[in-house]
Amino acid sequence: MSAWHDIAAEADVTVGNPAIARIGGREIGVMRDPRTNDLIAIRNRCPHSGARLCLGTVAQRIEGEVGGDYQLVDRTVVVCPWHGWEFDASTGECIEDPSFRVAAYPVRVEDGRVLVEA
Contact between 30 and 18 under an 8 Å Cβ cutoff? The reply is yes
For position 39 contacting ligand FES by CB under 6 A, the verdict is no
**Which residue from 19, 80, 102, 115 is in contact with ligand FES, where contact means CB under 6 A?**
80
**Which residue from 19, 46, 54, 118 is in contact with ligand FES, where contact means CB under 6 A?**
46
d(CA 42, CA 87): 10
**Which residue from 4, 34, 35, 51 is in contact with ligand FES, where contact means CB under 6 A?**
51
Give the CA distances from residue 30 to residues 16, 33, 35, 36, 75, in Å, rounded to whole numbers and listed in that order: 11, 10, 15, 14, 18
Task: Report the interface residues with ligand FES, using CB under 6 A.
Answer: 46, 48-49, 51, 80, 82-83, 85
